[in-house]
Structure 1
Amino acid sequence: MDYVNYNILVEKNLTVLANYNGSPTMKSKLELDELEKQELDYFITDLENPDAKIKEGRLKAIGIKLAKALFTKEIRDQFYLVQKKAGAKGVRIRLTVNHPKSRSYPWESLYLNHRYLALDEETPLTRFIPNGTFEKKEIRKPVKMLVVGAQPAKRGLPTVHVARDIKNIEDALNEHKENGTIHLDLIRIGTVPNVLDQFKKTQYNVFHFIGHGIFENGTGKLAFESPEGKYDPVDHVRMGQMLMNQREMGLVVLNACQGAATSTSDVLTGLAPELIKMRIVPSVIAMRYSITNQMANLFSREFYPNLLKKPIDQNLQSVRHTISVHPKSATADFLAPVLFLNAPDGVIFKPKLPSPPTPAPEKKIKEEVLKTPEESPPQKVKELPKLSAKCSDTIALLNSFIEDPSLTNDRKAWKGFRELIATVEQTSSEYEIEDECEELIEIRNRLGRLRRQRNEHRSAGRDELADKTEAVIQRNYSDSIHIIMRISARMPS
């Protein structure tokens, strides 16, 4: 199914911005009263408690409250209009939450128009992490997976049944191992050296971690084992360093199965997006709540074989739906898998084509004429800048301003944007990017006028007009990112 992207951004000050494909940006405020916030806190606590029984009525009530807060009338009307215009296409909801507390809310429970959005394949819901450096990972069957289980000896940590959980994955994927569509490697003693040794042997597409997540000093960490079996904390920085040279890695799954009740949602929902921001992987699925082993088995059996058949968000949406209607699933089990994504179209892998055969050297018919240095034409020295790095840097600057339109970010984005265009103008004919160059120059000229207008509004105390103009500036930068990504795709590696 094809999709139209609908973007919703919750800023650090709880301002909500929503738009699609160049549409006007709707603006509102995410507002919950103290009682609603308290209900959400209790609900999240119960979700993380495997012994708590959540009834359908309570789940639906939470979903309605969150939908009412996020989809105010203007945003809701625009969203329905997008659905109508999309026709046979679906509408992909790309939710970016920059407000720290709101990140932990169960957005996958959003209930709008008499249904859960996260269960309908026509409305895949993802936590979108803007990062212009995304590249689809090349993959050739079989899909190569590494599953790591860790159960360190640490006071206060309940038992993780690593052997049983790994066997669940093995059983779920056995048929696909036998027919050659999935290659599965297992590490039952999850130490960092064991993982690194395995990484030296194989380039993997999927990394699946089974174990605990722990909050220490305000930072989420995964509980690996030391060589002595003790607790070895791995935060997002160290995890990113471990994965850094896995060039074909497209997905990380962080799985806190039943028994890992100390894995709070803050740990995984905090650690997962950081791996994307570090440009390590384009997608992370965090199992933020404990689920039964049967549901973990169902997830593996339904999700992994379809990795190459569907966009990852559509695939996960289908899995959530299967979990929700399973006779032995708990009411809220479908909320467990949370997808953090950087791929604009949900596609993280592309087929890896075999290298073409090296052509045989042509026979020279004419005898080569030797020229003296004086007769030889001057060698053209290429001094073309490496555009791909400059494109990545500029995209990062523009994304920083879109997420946080501070004065500093504004100046950096504008300076970087103009410098990139100057470089593009110098090299447009060499790389055949004349059309993109013209588009960027047009946006640059428009942005120059918009920035002056915004500054004039600010100086005159017309803050509302200044905010509206700034939203248009952000939208122009967003359009520029897509153009820059087209340029980057044409750069020689």
Structure 2
Amino acid sequence: MSNYRHLYQLIEDVFNKDGIRELCMDVSLDTGVDLQFENLAGDTTRRKAQELQEFARRNQITPELLQAIHRAKPRVDLTQFGGPEPNVAAPQNVEPDNGEQGAGQIAPAITPETVYENFDISIRPTGNKNEYLLEAESPYGETADSIRNLFPFDDDNYKYLANMLRDVQASKPKFANELGEMLRRFLFPPQIQEEFSKSLSSARATGKDGLRVRLNINRESNELYQVPWEFCRDDKAFLAVNDDTPLVRYMPTNRPPAPIKVPDTVKILLAWANPKDLVELTGIQNEIDAIQEALKDFTQTGKVVIEILPKATSAELFDRVSKNRPDIFHFIGHGDLDSSGGAIVLEDGGSGHVLLNGDLLLELFQGTNTKLIILSACQTGTMGEKSKKPASAQAFMGLAPKLVWGGLPAVIAMQYDLPDRAARPFMKTLYEFLAMGKPLDWAMTKARLGLRFAILDKPYWGIPVLFMRAPDGNIWA
């Protein structure tokens, strides 16, 4: 699947006019062909890029043009045009385009832009038991009327399948398939399925990569937040592991994410807590190792800095966040269903624990420009005699939407406890694609796919959930 239909689109995205001028000079020196920037028709960046592509085609020097692009932008992926593979560890100066980015700034690896249209499915209660109104909308059309549909909360088969998938030891792909069909029948009644198929075809025909399926669940319908929508199928496949149809839980607010440029260095704060009075976590180091491995090339070149906060207390967390203002905050540990709907569990400096709920987390991160929070419950779902606590994943699923409603751009949470052997491949792939500058929902789809193929006999890929209010999946402006 192509990310660009034409080479000129890539050139326009990663070069300004001065950059195209230098490309012309480089190709001329390399081939001896008289290629003058001034002779390219038009005065816009797009027109110059189009003329450059056409000139190279007519003069049979497209391979030399691709090599020149690679020399100037070694981290750009040119393989779909027959060019070199990207060198993601290479430093690269990103040129301003229409004044949006200052000269000389260094950004994460650039790959061809991934562009989706949005397909929004809104769900709100009718007031009748288990009955909801559904509406669908995309740039290509919308359902004529709201559609009433019953969710199968009382269906014994739904309860059975949901419980089997929640039990990570018992879960099987066949349960995911069966539940996915039930979810499809709710989300995609005939009118919405028809609109979806039409919109997906239109998106492909206009050069887009597909449709971003955004579930917009009414805030009053808390029961729907615990539904494992990530297992939903369309009429052909699971949405959440299909590059054409990334699935997000979309939470539009009247406070759009504050625009910030890609930082010179992406700062990640990775905090973990393992209080002695709770069930011991077993997969912390495994997850940390996976993240460090995924980002090794970027940390070595200074593009990413990972700060680890072990045995985190509330005071230490405040100190690190206020001083270093992380771009990404990743927490590994227990969650708790407190009276506010969810909290992370920190250590108290001794043998006990304290809770940090959604209100306190929002206070902690206000004004920091933190773009993503990851809440990872690794192997904490069993109820031990020592714990007497609800499952961490359930707590994080209550906490995540509150954080996004409160103003954070995006939160990733686990709707069930993610087994240790699944956390490593998922986190590794997620961070690899985030570091490459990919949209968050696209990176999530790839991470789910990576997990699916790493563990074929368990549908663990449906456990991670993305809550987001960024309209296009980009956490950077």
Q: Shorter-normalised TM-score: what interval?
A: 0.5 to 0.7
Q: Give the distance between the partners of 1:239 and 1:330, measured in 2 at CA.
A: 37
**Mapped contact 2:330–2:374 kept (Cα < 8 A):** yes
**How far did 1:112 drift?**
1.5
Letter in 2 for 1:147: L
Q: Give the distance between the partners of 1:318 and 1:159, measured in 2 at CA.
A: 27
- Aligned twin of 1:91: 211
**Mapped contact 2:125–2:133 kept (Cα < 8 A):** yes
Q: Give the distance between the partners of 2:286 and 2:327, measured in 1 at CA.
A: 23
- The residue correspondences of 1:237-276 to structure 2 (distance < 5 A) are 237-247=359-369, 249-261=370-382, 262-263=390-391, 265-276=393-404
- Aligned twin of 1:321: 449
After superposition, what is the alpha-carbon deviation per residue over 1:122-165, rounded to whole angstroms, capped at 9, x for unaligned? 1111000011322333332332100010112335x353543444
Q: Give the distance between the partners of 1:22 and 1:85, measured in 2 at CA.
A: 7
Q: Give the distance between the partners of 1:12 and 1:125, measured in 2 at CA.
A: 21
Q: Alpha carbons of 1:33 and 1:287: their partners in 2 closer, same or farther (altered >3 Å)?
A: closer
* Equivalent residue for 2:228, pick from 83, 92, 106: 106
Q: Give the distance between the partners of 2:342 and 2:116, measured in 1 at CA.
A: 33
- Aligned twin of 2:181: 64
- Aligned twin of 2:354: 232
**Mapped contact 2:380–2:392 kept (Cα < 8 A):** no
- Aligned twin of 2:413: 286
**How far did 1:111 drift?**
1.2
Q: Alpha carbons of 1:29 and 1:167: their partners in 2 closer, same or farther (altered >3 Å)?
A: same
- Aligned twin of 1:44: 162
- Aligned twin of 1:31: 150
Q: Give the distance between the partners of 1:74 and 1:152, measured in 2 at CA.
A: 51
**Mapped contact 1:150–1:162 kept (Cα < 8 A):** no
- Aligned twin of 2:459: 332
**Mapped contact 2:230–2:240 kept (Cα < 8 A):** yes
Q: Give the distance between the partners of 1:166 and 1:295, measured in 2 at CA.
A: 13
SS at match of 1:199: helix
**How far did 1:329 drift?**
4.8
Structure 1 runs not aligned, ≥5 long: 351-493
SS at match of 1:130: coil
* Equivalent residue for 2:437, pick from 309, 312, 326: 309
**How far did 1:341 drift?**
0.7
**How far did 1:114 drift?**
2.1
- The residue correspondences of 1:119-198 to structure 2 (distance < 5 A) are 119-134=241-256, 135-154=258-277, 157-198=279-320
**2:137 matched to 1:19?**
yes
**How far did 1:244 drift?**
1.4
Q: Give the distance between the partners of 2:424 and 2:465, measured in 1 at CA.
A: 17
**Mapped contact 2:274–2:280 kept (Cα < 8 A):** no
Letter in 1 for 2:412: I
**How far did 1:217 drift?**
3.5
Q: Give the distance between the partners of 2:310 and 2:246, measured in 1 at CA.
A: 34
Q: Give the distance between the partners of 2:255 and 2:358, measured in 1 at CA.
A: 18
SS at match of 2:261: strand
**Mapped contact 1:162–1:188 kept (Cα < 8 A):** no
- State the TM-score, normalizing by the size of structure 1: 0.66
Q: Give the distance between the partners of 1:336 and 1:149, measured in 2 at CA.
A: 20
- Aligned twin of 1:5: 118
SS at match of 1:146: strand
Q: Alpha carbons of 1:85 and 1:171: their partners in 2 closer, same or farther (altered >3 Å)?
A: closer
Q: CA RMSD in A?
A: 2.1
- Aligned twin of 2:92: none
Q: Give the distance between the partners of 1:85 and 1:130, measured in 2 at CA.
A: 25
Q: Alpha carbons of 1:176 and 1:329: their partners in 2 closer, same or farther (altered >3 Å)?
A: farther
* Equivalent residue for 1:298, pick from 416, 425, 437: 425
Q: Give the distance between the partners of 1:218 and 1:274, measured in 2 at CA.
A: 10
**Mapped contact 1:15–1:29 kept (Cα < 8 A):** yes
**How far did 1:292 drift?**
3.0
Q: Alpha carbons of 1:181 and 1:44: their partners in 2 closer, same or farther (altered >3 Å)?
A: farther
User: Bigger shift: 185-194 or 224-233?
Assistant: 224-233
**2:196 matched to 1:82?**
no
**Mapped contact 2:294–2:431 kept (Cα < 8 A):** no
Letter in 1 for 2:151: L
**How far did 1:110 drift?**
0.9
Letter in 2 for 1:32: F
**Mapped contact 2:394–2:416 kept (Cα < 8 A):** no
After superposition, what is the alpha-carbon deviation per residue over 1:304-348, rounded to whole angstroms, capped at 9, x for unaligned? 23225211111111111121122x354211111100011111111
- Aligned twin of 1:117: 239
- State the TM-score, normalizing by the size of structure 2: 0.68
SS at match of 1:47: helix
The structure with more radius of gyration = 1
**Mapped contact 1:255–1:288 kept (Cα < 8 A):** no
